[in-house]
Amino acid sequence: MEKGVIPVKITDTTFRDGHQSLLATRMKLEDMLPIAEQMDDIGFHSMEVWGGATFDTCMRFLNEDPWERLRQLRKSIKKTKLQMLLRGQNLVGYRHYADDVVEAFVKKAIFNGIDIIRIFDALNDVRNMEKAISVTKKEGGHAQGTISYTVSPFHNLEYYQKLAQTLKDMGADSICIKDMAGIITPQMAFDLVKVLKEQVKLPVQLHCHYTSGMASMAYYKAVEAGVDVLDCAISSIALSTSQPAAETIVASLQGTPYDSGLDLNKLSVAAEYFKNVRAKYKKFDVSNGTVDVNVLRYQIPGGMISNFISQLQQQNALDKLPQVLEEVPRVREDFGFPPLVTPSSQIVGAQAVLNVLLGERYKMATTETKNYMKGLYGRPPAPVNEEVRKKIIGEEQPVNTRPADLLEPQMEEARKEIGFYAETEEDVLSYVMFPQVGKKFLEERLAGKVKVDFSLVGNEKNINHYPV
* Cα 241 from Cα 210, distance rounded (Å): 5
| Cβ-based nearer residue to Co ion, 47 or 411 | 47
Q: What residue type is 108 in one-letter code?
A: K
Cβ atoms of 136 and 173 within 8 Å: the answer is no
Cβ proximity to Co ion: between 48 and 125 the closer is 48
E strand or H helix at 386, and its extent?
A: helix 386-393
Question: Which residues, in sequence order, are CB contacts of 438 under 8 Å at separation 6+?
Answer: 59, 418, 430, 431, 432
Distance of alpha carbon 252 from alpha carbon 216, whole angstroms = 10
Are 7 and 261 in contact by the 8 Å Cβ rule? The answer is yes
Q: Minimum CB separation from Co ion for residue 421, in Å?
A: 33
Smaller CB distance to Co ion: residue 178 or 379? Answer: 178
Give the three-state DSSP class for 366. coil
Looking at beta carbons, which residue is closest to Co ion? Answer: 17
CB 119 within 8 A of CB 143: yes
Q: How far is the CB of 242 from Co ion (least distance, A)?
A: 8
Spatial separation of the C-alpha atoms in residues 65 and 46, rounded to whole Å = 23
Smallest separation (angstroms) from Co ion to the CB of 22: 11
Rounded least distance, CB 17 to Co ion, Å: 4
Query: Minimum Å distance from CB 349 to Co ion?
Result: 17
Nearest approach in angstroms of CB 223 to Co ion is 19
| DSSP at 52 | T
236: three-class secondary structure by DSSP: helix
Q: Which of 11, 351 has the CB closer to Co ion?
A: 11
Shortest Å, Cβ 52 to Co ion: 7
For Co ion, the closer of residues 17 and 103 by Cβ is: 17
SS3 (DSSP) at 231:
strand
Indicate the burial class of 166 (C-beta count within 10 angstroms; 0-12, 13-18, 19 or more).
middle
Q: How far is the CB of 14 from Co ion (least distance, A)?
A: 12
Strand partners, 178: 148, 207
Look at residues 125, 199, 207, 205 and name the one whose alpha carbon lies nearest to residue 403. 125
Toward Co ion, which CB reaches closer, 160 or 421? 160
Q: Distance between CA atoms of 262 and 44, rounded to whole angstroms?
A: 8
Closer residue to Co ion, CB minimum distance, 211 or 369: 211
Nearest residue to 428 via CA among 436, 420, 418: 418
Which residues contact Co ion (rule: CB under 5 A)?
Answer: 17
DSSP secondary structure letters along 239-261: STTSPPBHHHHHHHHTTSTT---
Q: Measured from the CB atom, is 291 or 318 closer to Co ion?
A: 291
Shortest distance, position 180 Cβ to Co ion, whole Å: 5
Closest to Co ion by CB, 17 vs 173, is: 17
